[in-house]
């Protein structure tokens, strides 16, 4: 695999602004500004599990 290459594209909420990787469960969390959600992505298969609404 080449460095800095796209390995998957996973749809998330509107206007994603930040992400965080959790090394304990390998999940990725994406903050979506316009939709006011956090998207939870399984890094094992690059699939979104759910959106969590935030205020």
How many CB atoms sit inside 10 A of residue 13's CB?
20
pLDDT at 1: 56
- Average pLDDT over the chain, rounded to an integer: 92
pLDDT at 19: 94
pLDDT at 8: 85
Q: What is the pLDDT of residues 30-41, one digit of tens each?
A: 999 999 999 999
Domain ranges of the chain: 1-55
For residue 5, name the pLDDT band (cuts at 50, 70, 90).
Answer: confident
The C-alpha atoms of residue 26 and residue 49 are separated, in whole angstroms, by 13
As given in the structure block, the two tokens for residue 50 are 């759910």
């Amino acid at each position: 695999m080449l460095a800095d290459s796209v390995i998957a594209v996973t749809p998330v909420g509107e206007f994603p602004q930040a992400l965080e990787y959790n090394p304990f469960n390998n999940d990725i969390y994406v903050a979506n500004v316009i939709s006011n959600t956090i998207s939870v992505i399984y890094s094992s298969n690059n699939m979104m599990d759910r959106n969590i609404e935030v205020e």
